[in-house]
Amino acid sequence: MPISTQEVEHRAASDAESIAWVDESDQLLGTLPRAELRERGLIGRGTYILLFNGEGELCVHRRTLSKAIYPGYWDVAAGGMVQGDETYAESAARELEEELGVSGVELTAHELFLFDQPGNRVWCAVFSAVWDGPLELQPEEVLEARFIPVQQALDESTTEPYCPDSVAALLRFLACRDNA
């Protein structure tokens, strides 16, 4: 599947976005372009929104092939990098609306954790929301989306390409929920 001109332009704009740059303790150090954070192996802030429907199924979506990391992978969370002038909650609301067209829902904050793998170092803020309305997919970032049982997503993540950072967010969410 070829990458559209629209996706290429979106990727270039995304790479230039000013992202919150933090240290290993999530202390703000400043802002840097997204591409520079990635190239230098620095840590940024990111949001991970687990979107459930009223029946408890999880929205999973497939990323476009133009994404800088995990292109074409399945993702169990909407979300993205926190811009320099945003809080985690502001970023989560913006990303959920941009990627899946969902706005005006209550976002529940769960926890922060450091995801640290080569090429993807990010302080992750995990949120959840419930939505039974239609999804409006952002064509530059999302190829397709569907709601499936959580266990199915976990099972698929062992045999299909799933984003490891969002799977980590889901596992942490489930562990906290089960221990509550």
Query: What's the whole-number mean pLDDT along residues 136-142?
Result: 94
Taken as a whole, the chain contains a residue count of 180
Do the bridges between strand 120-130 and strand 43-52 make them parallel or antiparallel, or are there none, so unpaired?
parallel
76 within 8 A of 165, measured Cβ to Cβ: no
98 within 8 A of 178, measured Cβ to Cβ: no
Q: How far apart are CA 87 and CA 177, in angstroms?
A: 24
Q: What is the pLDDT of residues 62-100, one digit of tens each?
A: 999 989 899 999 999 999 999 999 999 999 999 999 999
Q: Which residues belong to the annotated binding site?
A: 95, 99
Tell me the H-state helices in 49-163. Answer: 88-100, 150-156
Looking at the DSSP bridge assignments, the partners of residue 50 are 128
Q: What is the pLDDT of residues 31-64, one digit of tens each?
A: 999 999 999 999 999 999 999 999 999 999 999 9
Residue 4: per-residue pLDDT: 74
Beta-carbon count within 10 A of 148 CB: 15
126 within 8 A of 111, measured Cβ to Cβ: yes
What does pTM read for this prediction? 0.92
49 within 8 A of 107, measured Cβ to Cβ: yes
Q: Tokens for 156, please give them.
A: 């698929």
Q: Percent of the chain beyond pLDDT 70?
A: 94
Q: Which residues belong to the annotated binding site for Mg(2+)?
A: 95, 99
| Maximum Cα interatomic distance, the chain, rounded to a whole number of Å | 47
- Which CATH code fits 5-178? 3.90.79.10
Average model confidence (pLDDT) across the chain: 93
Query: What's the whole-number mean pLDDT along residues 97-125?
Result: 96
Residue 11: per-residue pLDDT: 62
